[in-house]
Structure 1
Amino acid sequence: MKKGRLVILGGGESGIGTALLGKSKGYDVFVSDKGEIKKKYKNVLLNNEIEFEDKQHTESKILDADVVMKSPGIPDKVDLVKQIREVGIKVVSEIEFASNYTDATLVAITGSNGKTTTATLTHHLLKQELDVGLAGNIGDSFAKQVLEENYDNYVLEVSSFQLDDIHDFNPKIAILTNITPDHLDRYEYKFENYIASKFRITENQTKDDYFIYDADDEVISEWLQHNQIQSKKLPFSLTKTIEEGAYLDNNKIIITIDNNQIIMPTENITLEGKHNIKNAMAASTVAHLLKIRKQTIRESFENFQGVEHRLEHVLKINKVQYINDSKATNVNATYFALESMDAPTVWIVGGVDKGNDYKELFPFVNEKVKAIICLGVDNEKLFEAFGNMVDVIVETQYMSEAVKIAYKVAGAGDNVLLSPACASFDLFENYEDRGRQFKNAVRNL
């Protein structure tokens, strides 16, 4: 039975996964990418006899769609997307499309920072006892996993861009880690638009669902005071006592749900930094809701390895610790990184600035940073912000050179931290490429 025509804009991980799932469900599928589709993805399309084009968008082939799945990287302001919407074609994101074809319990995690660590940690806690997949912005696409794995549960890392195109998507458990200004270029530079986009994660939830969030985050608290949500709220906090949810008391995490309490000592958590206590609270609240045994949760915390490019300890050379935090693509993420430094730090920073305000970093830079290496095409703003705060501030456009300078400047007991606070697209393919180049340069010292 033919379902109609499914057009997919963007031939990346989410696009190819959706194409495969769509074809299996009886859609006539067409994939269109303005750029070049990677060879590995082209081969999948060819092997599955799915029609596609790249380096162009043929409007006539796109505007006769019944439904369009738009890659999260394509902004709404693109003319083609405007045309699609004007003629009344339904636009969906991959998470929306795929969720229609699974009855699994969905745990969806969003936020400006911490979502990858929280998603990876949650999956790590659940997989010991449950059949569970990890998808969304991480690993294999959600659509592909629904088609091939058919897990009973999914942990999904979802971005605001994916939430912008949901209609019925409804996670059993939604997590909002925090909200700080990010990606404002996609939201008409209005912070309230970005906030509303994040809260869409709750819009289809019912009273039988759960919403886990950071009660210390003023932006979240303010929104919840003025807006109603249906789901059961389970906040977490480092400073307040929480009756239903999680809080910190004498270095112990205390989680209470329906009068059922568990206590987790934090000294077993392998992740460093206050922000990771919050990520641990969110993940263990999910595990508690899904009836994972306390012993399993504790053991899982002890053997969790963390996420690549997120405060990742690379090597110690001449008593200097090299740390890869390339995933810090905004100021708030770098704030957490600098906060967790416990030694004098040589800081490698810079890239494509998304309208950054560096003020909140000043106390940490004054207290902990001994030298700054600017790694970007345009470093003027960094020099203006930090030039008077440190004795050494230099610029370079090569990772290998940045690491060599750091090696010369750092002394025994110091840290060298790559935490760019910016996007990577000026000198690198993406933050992963930036992080790998850093690690290779360190290993070649």
Structure 2
Amino acid sequence: MPNIAHTYYPQQGSLVVLGAGESGVGAAILGKDKGFDVFVSDKGTIGASYKHVLEDEGILYEELQHSEEKILGASLVVKSPGIPDQAPLVQMLKKAGVPVVSEIEFAAQYTDAKLYCITGSNGKSTTTMLTYYMLQHGDLRVGLAGNIGKSFAWQVARSDYDVYVLEISSFMLDDMYHFRADIAVILNITPDHLDRYDHRMENYVASKFRMIRNQTERDYFLYCADDAETVKGLAIYKTSAQYLPFSQQQEMVPGAYLDKDQNIVINIPNKETFAMNIEELSLQGKHNVYNNMASGLIAKVQELRNQTMKESMGSYVNIAHRLEHVACIGGVNYINDSKATNVNSVWYALESFSPEIILIMGGVDKGNDYEMLRDLVKSKVKAIVCIGKDTVRIHESFEEDTAIIVNSSSMLDAVEMASHLAKKGDTVLLSPACASFDWFKNYEERGDKFKEAVMAL
């Protein structure tokens, strides 16, 4: 028999995996290794590299269709987080009584590793990567997975780690039921993806708080005490875990806070107190103080040495496309924040830089409310260069707040316009607030095109 850590679902029979991306192929490999009869079905085309993996593993698959009869006969279904619960096939499966779960839920059954799980509308990629970096420096055998890196299921199948740092999206959480986080982190909750939640903020908040389901008194729940929606959620959703809040506005003991001398202070019972001045952090900006607090709390729970934490927090280099410094040309700094696909991410970006900013924004508007940006645009932005197809609402929202708003015809055009508008000491910031798939395949391609255009100046 396979070594099964915690079983909640059928452990044999037919496993159907819907979606053949990173998470789906990983789930298929783990299912095969655990003795399931595995079938992978993708309504779109399957990438060549993933096809090769499935063929090498001897796993049956189909693309450009879903064979309903075969799928409805499954013992268990693992679905891609990109497939909504309202999809007719998912509804048919649930009506037939077939369990439909996420890759994370499926894989967690087969590991006794500690699971340190980070969610939030903004900052989760940075916090996840920083935590992973710090734990590596603490000589832990640590895996990185979830919404980032290699599939969690794939690693559970073929690797051997003591700890996983998991970036968890709300879409993943929606299909998680028995999963338990040893450490659960909610960084913040701001409006995003509301089209998946009946345009109801309370549904989105409920999804985020699924992170703390099934936690025990041995576990930890970390949250931002300065975030209004999180604080509201605390009154509704409870856990037996130990609460560790973090704040820049008030002292938190136990927890993390910013003292009067601008030191991050981390104080957990029976563990050495940690302090580090925010000027020593490699990641600057108010939002990154929160990210460092969350990562620092995880490291302190894990009992990393203070020196290891300081070295890590002082040397970490941010992920690509998130406030990534591209170049300084003629005294103008060019910043790639292509991963900022919602308004709150842009707020964080604008907050991080001094005036004068030339802001490149636009793309596929997800029903954005730009009101929260107006004060920062007034005080910091000297010009807006619009990209993408949805520019009307940007013009309407900011025409009274900044002197110049212009449209561009391509990323190259946008960067050239911005360079002409900028003078020494200014910042050209790509922070779109919108999805990318009008002009680009994804936010990575958008960021890469920005970087290419900057380097061509």
Normalised TM-score (structure 2) = 0.96
Report what 1:146 is aligned to.
156
1:275 aligns with 2:287: yes
Query: Does the 8 Å CA contact 1:377/1:397 hold for their aligned counterparts?
Result: no
2:262 aligned partner, one-letter code: N
Report what 1:106 is aligned to.
115
CA RMSD of superposed structures (Å): 1.0
1:20 aligned partner, one-letter code: I
Q: Any gaps of 5 or more consecutive residues in structure 2?
A: 2-10
The offset of 1:290, in angstroms, is 0.4
**Which residue among 60, 64, 72 is the counterpart of 2:73?**
64
The offset of 1:215, in angstroms, is 0.4
Report what 1:213 is aligned to.
223
Which residues in structure 2 correspond to 1:17-416 (within 5 Å)?
17-128=26-137, 129-249=139-259, 250-260=261-271, 261-416=273-428
The offset of 1:338, in angstroms, is 0.4
Find the residue that maps to 1:40 and give its secondary structure: helix
Mean Cα deviation higher: 308-317 or 253-262: 253-262
Question: Quick one: distance in 1 between partners of 2:85 and 2:372?
Answer: 31
The offset of 1:354, in angstroms, is 1.4
Question: Quick one: distance in 1 between partners of 2:255 and 2:216?
Answer: 18
The offset of 1:259, in angstroms, is 4.5
Find the residue that maps to 1:144 and give its secondary structure: helix
1:11 aligns with 2:23: no
The offset of 1:392, in angstroms, is 1.6
Question: Quick one: distance in 2 between partners of 1:226 and 1:18?
Answer: 33
Query: Does the 8 Å CA contact 2:356/2:382 hold for their aligned counterparts?
Result: yes
1:425 aligns with 2:437: yes
The offset of 1:340, in angstroms, is 1.1
Query: Does the 8 Å CA contact 1:126/1:287 hold for their aligned counterparts?
Result: yes
Q: Any gaps of 5 or more consecutive residues in structure 1?
A: none
Query: Does the 8 Å CA contact 1:8/1:31 hold for their aligned counterparts?
Result: yes
Per-residue displacement from partner, 1:258-286 (whole Å, max 9, x unpaired)? 15322222221011111100000000100
Find the residue that maps to 1:326 and give its secondary structure: coil
Question: Quick one: distance in 1 between partners of 2:217 and 2:358?
Answer: 49
Find the residue that maps to 1:234 and give its secondary structure: strand
Alignment coverage as a number of residue pairs: 445
Query: Does the 8 Å CA contact 2:327/2:454 hold for their aligned counterparts?
Result: yes
Find the residue that maps to 1:323 and give its secondary structure: strand
Find the residue that maps to 2:366 and give its secondary structure: coil
Question: Quick one: distance in 2 between partners of 1:105 and 1:228?
Answer: 21
The offset of 1:315, in angstroms, is 0.5
Per-residue displacement from partner, 1:320-349 (whole Å, max 9, x unpaired)? 100000010100000000011113011000
Where does structure 1 differ by over 3 angstroms across 4 or more consecutive aligned residues?
A: none
Find the residue that maps to 2:258 and give its secondary structure: strand
Find the residue that maps to 1:65 and give its secondary structure: coil
The offset of 1:230, in angstroms, is 1.3
Query: Does the 8 Å CA contact 2:15/2:77 hold for their aligned counterparts?
Result: yes
Find the residue that maps to 1:307 and give its secondary structure: coil
Per-residue displacement from partner, 1:33-89 (whole Å, max 9, x unpaired)? 111000000010011110000011110111101111110011111111111111110
Question: Quick one: distance in 2 between partners of 1:254 and 1:318?
Answer: 39
The offset of 1:363, in angstroms, is 0.8
Could you tell me the percent identity over the aligned residues?
53
The offset of 1:218, in angstroms, is 1.1
Per-residue displacement from partner, 1:289-326 (whole Å, max 9, x unpaired)? 00111000001111100111111000011111000000
Question: Quick one: distance in 2 between partners of 1:252 and 1:426?
Answer: 43
Normalised TM-score (structure 1) = 0.98
Query: Does the 8 Å CA contact 2:355/2:379 hold for their aligned counterparts?
Result: no
Question: Quick one: distance in 2 between partners of 1:43 and 1:176?
Answer: 37
Per-residue displacement from partner, 1:108-154 (whole Å, max 9, x unpaired)? 00000000000000011111121101110111110111112121100
Find the residue that maps to 1:138 and give its secondary structure: coil
Question: Quick one: distance in 2 between partners of 1:201 and 1:355?
Answer: 26
Find the residue that maps to 2:452 and give its secondary structure: helix
Mean Cα deviation higher: 156-165 or 425-434: 425-434
1:125 aligned partner, one-letter code: M
